[in-house]
Structure 1
Amino acid sequence: MPQIKIRGINENQICEISEKMIDELVDAVKCPRDYFEIECIKSVAIRNGKIADVYPFVEVAWFDRGHEVQDTVAKIITDNIRENLNIENMDLAFTVFEKEKYYENGEHF
């Protein structure tokens, strides 16, 4: 169920690294491969009244898996993007779902 939402990086570039990155994440998170979804979000940045490049930003939305796993996941994603796509700077943040507030088909976990 980890949702990886990416802005500011071309979707074709993400496709190039997605399989290897998900392989590494499956090992780190210990959940099936089909639980992962990568979403490339097209957005427009505006600075000083002008359209500008979107700063690379990754959001991982998931259920809490502890700080150690979170650190490992952050490193896997960051390393794959920076090293393979030649992106020098990027940010990554985690959004943690609470089971009692998460619903699938109208039923909470």
Structure 2
Amino acid sequence: MPHLKIRGIDKAAVIARSKDIVDGISSIVDCPRDWVTIEHQATEYIFDGAIVDGYTFAEVYWFERPEEIKRNVATFLTKLLKEANGNKDCCIIFFPMEGKNYCDNGEFF
């Protein structure tokens, strides 16, 4: 944990920057690298009967961190994803999780 779900950006761009993403997030959050997971979600945005370009979204699922860490993660991801996606708009959404609702291999946190 944290787990990132990224959409609205080419999968190859995410793959090419995956080491940078993991290194940056693990450093900011101060967690082992193998706790960070990245998932790319294929997305098509539709408006007025056509497929259109849309935002890049990164959803961050994690156990709540202090506001400063959240801001640092948001700034880091926004900069990296905008660079990777031709400076398109980018939105970071945080989903705080509670240990009582997170079960890993049969064990709750």
* Fold conserved between structures, TM > 0.5: yes
Number of residue pairs the alignment of both structures matches? 109
Distance 2:82 2:54 in 1: 16
- Matched residue type, 1:93: I
C-alpha displacement at 1:84, in angstroms? 4.1
> Within 5 Å, which residues of 2 pair with 1:1-109?
1-109=1-109
1:106 is matched by which residue type in structure 2?
G
Measured in 1, the distance between the counterparts of 2:72 and 2:6 equals: 18
- Please, which moves more after superposition, 98-107 or 22-31? 98-107
Shift of residue 43 of structure 1?
1.8
Q: Which runs of 5+ in 2 are unaligned?
A: none
TM-score, normalised by the number of residues in structure 2 = 0.90
Deviation sequence 1:41-70 (CA, Å, 0-9, x none):
012222122222232111001001111111
Q: 2:17 aligns to what SS in structure 1? A: helix
Q: Which runs of 4+ in 1 moved over 4 A?
A: none
Secondary structure of residue in 2 paired with 1:4: strand
Query: Contact between 1:7 and 1:54, CA under 8 Å: does it hold in 2?
Result: no
RMSD over aligned Cα atoms: 1.4
On the 8 A contact 2:55/2:88 being kept in 1, the answer is no
SS in 1 for 2:79: helix
Any gaps of 5 or more consecutive residues in structure 1? none
SS in 2 for 1:21: helix
Tell me by how many angstroms 1:30 deviates: 0.6
Identity of aligned residues (%): 36
